[in-house]
Amino acid sequence: MLNFFVAFLMVLAPVSAPPGSPSPSRPPLTAAAVVCVLSCDTLDPSRAAQETFPVPEKQINGRRVVLHVSDRDGMAWGSIDHGATGDSVWLDRSWDGGVSWEGLLGRASIPGTWTGTRTLMYNVTDPGHHRRGLIRACGDAAGVTCTDWIYPTVCDVLCDRTSASQASGDLQPVPPTTLHGRVIRLHTDANAMAWASIEAGGAGDEVWLDRSWDSGASWPGGSSLDRTATPAGAVSTRTTLHATRDPRGRHFGGAVRACGREAAHQEGSCTAWARPVPTRTRAAADALLYSYDPTTAWWPTSWWNSATTLSAVMDSGIRDYDWVIARTFDVNRGTFAAGQRGTDPVEGNFISRSIDDSAWWGLTWVAAYDHTGDQRYLAMATTIAAYVHQYWDTRTCGGGVWWDRERTYKNAVTNGQYLRLTAAVHRRTPGDSVWLQRARTAADWYLGSGLAGSSGLVNDGLTGDCRNNGQTVWTYNQGLAVGGFVEVWRATGDTRYLDTARRLADAAIASPVLTRGGVLIESCDVGTNSCDDNQKQFKGIFMRYLNDLAKVTNSSSYQRFARQQADSVWAADRDALNRIGQRWAGGSPNQVDWRTQASGVNAVIGT
């Protein structure tokens, strides 16, 4: 058994002086915070998905100190071999490029009769708190030695300190700054690499990059990157390229700025912070991943919104994010008391009293199955669909799914979801006839329900006596109906359903209720209104299903409309960190958070 000690946090001397045993002159030891990404700190190495040795081992008095790394897990552990009783091994972990570190992580001593031991596994990275880590193994055997730190260089398509001549294009995402007549520019390229330049100066002028993993709030380990002086006889210079994404560390959307100073003065000047734009989809999705919490494995603190946000991540098609799918599934498929994921308890398998909340997760796991081919996601979607089906009730309004377990309301959102979900489960279940019949029945009921008014716009729901209640027309209800009828058409081949999807889409695009100047609106984002956390994601849901309709019809009008949304969002509703707001045509008051970001991702897909 490992003689495992509790992890300690110790801010020590610079990296040139490896840590030894604590001494009275050093700061007191403090417990290190546990980091969770795919797994939490202190995972047993027997569960490692791989074992690599990216840095050379160290020798100390005949002992071998080895750093073991599993990039698939994002974790590392240390070992000491050929030793004697009392020799020990531990990990150091630094969040500021090796200036300071948490020391003695997992310290283990060789017990009697053994010749070696190892630590438990610790995360190298902490994307949930936007910290990029370094880690090394240290051993004590009548003296202390440490391996090199792993991964001090950030690598993406290219690695840090690549020549700027290798840049793929030259974008300048923010205005330059000036200082004593010098012009300091931030440059980025299509590979999300960045560099800085200084112009109109002279010998000794300096330029550098700052890199931040937390949107510019701080930049430990990323200060004054590649500080470069203008050579004699020149009036300009530039840095090398530096990466703004760290796929190995699961950091996406790092921010950079260019800074410089004139040779005769100490003060400097910096541009604004920016994130590169390799593509619109990639830039918007990277900014969305910034808000994901891998410890709790959702986007705090909205339950159903996290489901459709995960769908938006998959809609992007970017495989770097696939770990988020499994992490979200594994952590959240259990039970949660009221208040942990929402007002209602979650009873396991993503089920709660809110039928529409459950159905959102069902649709998300269908998308996960399509994206990964993993059968467990289809099994979960089918389980959720069966739960939703329990609330299909012909005794009121001749059919339709209730919105809640108390059976108080039949509305558009739940029935649009049911259309899409029943047809989707059928199409992915070999030999099925039960879900096919349910999809047909639901589609025919919807057509006769009155949920869509004479103008082709879907109102919020039905009255107690089963009439259209005339309540607000929301984009997501329109989109769910479009997506539902598209999927039922796929399942049945009946062109009535595809014609209905077209009619509903055309009504939305032409309606002054849902568009203004050709750009989608909600009633809550016009004038001085503001949208609640649910409404912030409605337009993205509409675009998800309009894009699906555009794909199956190859309609140029739908494609033009989608492009118009993307262009408007990018030009009028995005900042230099690629954060997208609620008002796609711009204007104020605006709202910006991860919910509006998820909606915006679906607006720019493929552009």
User: For the segment 32-79, what is each residue's pLDDT rounded down to a tens digit?
Assistant: 899 999 999 999 999 999 999 999 999 999 999 999 999 999 999 999
| Cα gap 138→143, rounded to integer Å | 10
Task: Quickly state the pLDDT bin for 28 (edges 50, 70, 90).
Answer: very low
Distances 410 to 50, 256, 355, 404, 464 between C-alpha atoms, Å: 51, 49, 11, 9, 9
pLDDT at 6 over 60: no
pLDDT of residue 606: 86
Express each pLDDT in 334-380 by its tens digit: 999 999 999 999 999 999 999 999 999 999 999 999 999 999 999 99
> Which helix or strand (DSSP H or E) is residue 388 part of?
helix 375-389
Residue at token pair 């594994």: 330
Predicted confidence at residue 19, as pLDDT, reads: 34
Question: Is it the case that residue 402 has pLDDT exceeding 50?
Answer: yes
The pLDDT tens digits of the residues spanning 204-218 come to 999 999 999 999 999
Residue 246 has what pLDDT?
97
Enter the tokens of residue 13: 């001397």
Q: pLDDT for 162-207, tens place per residue? A: 999 999 999 999 999 999 999 999 999 999 999 999 999 999 999 9
| Sign, Cα dihedral of 398, 399, 402, 403 | negative
Q: What is the pLDDT of residue 276?
A: 97
Q: How far apart are CA 212 and CA 226, in angstroms?
A: 15
Q: What is the pLDDT of residues 439-485, one digit of tens each?
A: 999 999 999 999 999 999 999 999 999 999 999 999 999 999 999 99
Which pTM value belongs to this model?
0.93
Per-chain mean pLDDT for the chain:
94
Residue 306 pLDDT exceeds 90: yes
| pLDDT at 272 (0 to 100) | 98
The mean pLDDT value for 133-160 works out to 97
Ramachandran angles phi, psi of 328, nearest 5°: -65, -45
DSSP state of 301: T
- Kindly calculate the radius of gyration of the chain based on its CA atoms and give it in whole angstroms: 28
Containing H/E element for 284? Answer: helix 280-289
**DSSP 8-state secondary structure symbol assigned to residue 149:** P
Contacts for 298 with CB less than 8 Å, ≥ 6 apart: 292, 306, 328, 331, 332, 341
Give the pLDDT band of residue 11 (cuts 50, 70, 90). very low
pLDDT over 80 at 30, yes or no? no
* Residue 25: partners with Cβ closer than 8 Å, 6 or more residues away: none
Contact 539, 473 (CB under 8 A): no
* Closest CA relative to residue 599, chosen from 475, 478, 493, 492: 475
Q: What pLDDT was estimated at residue 3? A: 32
pLDDT of residue 349: 98
Instruction: Work out the pLDDT band at 23, boundaries 50, 70, 90.
Output: very low
What is the arithmetic mean of pLDDT over 157-162? Answer: 98
List 194's β-bridge partners, or say none.
188, 242
- C-alpha distance from residue 126 to each of 34, 95, 130, 222, 453 (Å): 10, 9, 6, 16, 50
* Residues 385, 418: Cα–Cα separation, whole Å: 8
Reduced to 3 states (helix: H, G, I; strand: E, B; else coil), residue 501 is helix
pLDDT on residue 1:
32
Distance between CA atoms of residues 147 and 52, nearest Å: 14
pLDDT, tens digit, 9 for 90 and up, residues 326-341: 999 999 999 999 999 9
Q: Is the pLDDT of residue 26 over 50?
A: no
The average pLDDT across 539-552 equals: 98
pLDDT band at 31 (very low <50, low <70, confident <90, very high): low
Say how many CA atoms lie within 13 Å of 545 toward its Cβ.
31
**Angle made by CA atoms 41, 45, 49, in degrees to the nearest 5:** 95
